[in-house]
Copies of this chain bind each other. A is one copy, B any other.
Amino acid sequence: MEIIGTIKDMHDLSRALMSQDKTIGFVPTMGALHDGHLSLVRRSKAENDATVVSIFVNPTQFGPNEDFLRYPREVEKDVDKLSAQGVDTIFIPVEREMYPEGFSASINIGKIGEILCGASRPGHFNGVAAVVAKLFNIVMPDRAYFGQKDFQQTVIINKLVKDLNFSVDIVVCPTIRESDGLAMSSRNSYLNSGERKAAVILFKALKLGEELIVSDGIVNAVLIKEEMRKLIHSEPLAAIDYVEIVTANLKEVEKIKLPVAICLAVKIGKTRLIDNLIIDPNNADICSL
């Protein structure tokens, strides 16, 4: 396993792999790896000749009052976990090389970046789009792996790839959950034990939404969201950012027509968590949405 720190070294390695006709799988991460990340790594290893994992806490996707500085950083542990998975290459770029003085380019992906999480995190998805574009140009992967937990992000990255003609297949993998249903997230480490128990309300609300749609056959999205909101309000530590039901293109749904995605963002104490469920009678895999 090789750890690479400079853009040039990473690029040269990818060039070498390409000239050997080896396929490259890429898992971009912000580190603080959990089983969700590792499931992406395993999928990449199964589908490609070489797997590159990047660890970079990207400053441009954090707002001025967000958690950039306290975002968990545990590179040594991460390296151990990736080593145990048999990852070929870990790319750990430094901020001053990724964003040198005078850096000024930005990518705007349009309205889908301004709704849902984009509404409460203005500029967030522009930052995501730019760093993903940079990483794709540096690593030049055949396939890149993202978790369905960040559903809006996966839609935006698919749009980035399509609109700017990147030659990367985007593979979206199922959300990995704790035993009580909480979606794995590096930000779960912010939760104290009371908050951790309360955080299950996100998954419970999603399951309620699913039940109302699938079992009860309710098609009025407003009604479903209202029931979900009520349930979340029953948890004293929870404060709703949004509860939405959308299409694969993130269009708000009024009358349920499957497939749809139920998406929510909820603050538990000071920690903002997101989660989603895809309701698709034919396939639970978001890729088919």
Contacts A138-B165, A140-B167, A164-B137 hold; do A106 and B107 have CB atoms under 8 A apart? yes
Nearest B residue (CB) for A138: B165
Is A11 within 8 A of B137, CB to CB? no
Residue A177 is within 8 A (CB to CB) of chain B in the complex: no
Residue A273 is within 8 A (CB to CB) of chain B in the complex: no
Nearest B residue (CB) for A97: B165
Is B164 within 8 A of A130, CB to CB? yes
Residue A247 is within 8 A (CB to CB) of chain B in the complex: no
- Binary B-proximity of A141-171 (CB < 8 A = 1, otherwise 0): 0000000000000000001100111110000
| Shortest Cβ distance from residue A6 to the other chain B in the assembled complex, whole angstroms | 12
What would 26 A/B residue contacts be, using CB atoms closer than 8 Å? A7-B165, A11-B165, A11-B167, A15-B167, A18-B18, A19-B19, A102-B249, A104-B109, A104-B110, A105-B110, A105-B129, A105-B159, A105-B160, A105-B163, A105-B164, A106-B110, A107-B107, A108-B108, A130-B164, A133-B164, A134-B163, A134-B164, A134-B165, A137-B165, A137-B166, A138-B165
